[in-house]
Amino acid sequence: MVKIEFLGPIEQESLEIEANSLKDVANFLQNIESINSWLDRCAVAVNSQMCNDLSKKLNSGDVVSILPPVCGG
């Protein structure tokens, strides 16, 4: 199982799903309407490391973080 957490303003509790890669996570999240609308402007981290590679393999226990647009300062 892989944990997906939604950061900042995305109002969604964490989810646990079976996924072998970020591509699986993408397919899963695209089917949740309230999340899908965020995806085009969200970045992704795996185990707290930013990740740009959709083919990234995932292992059980990995945490995928969904990061919406930021504005610190």
Partner 1 sequence: MELYQGSLDIKSIFSRWLDEERESNYGAFIPFIGTIRAENNIEALSFDIYEPILESWFNGWVERAKKRGAKVKMAHSIGDVPVHTSSYISAVFSPKRRVALELIDEFVEDFKANAPIWKYDILDGRRIYAEDRSTPMSGSGILASKEDN
Distance CA 21, CA 17 (A): 11
- The answer to whether the beta carbons of residues 28 and 64 sit under 8 Å apart is no
Binding site for partner 1 (CB under 8 A): 7-9, 22-23, 25-27, 29-30, 36, 39-45, 48-54, 65-73
Q: How far is the CB of 9 from partner 1 (least distance, A)?
A: 4
Minimum gap (Å) between residue 15 Cβ and partner 1: 13
Q: How far is the CB of 50 from partner 1 (least distance, A)?
A: 6
Give, in degrees to the nearest 5, the angle at Cα 8 between 6 and 14. Answer: 20
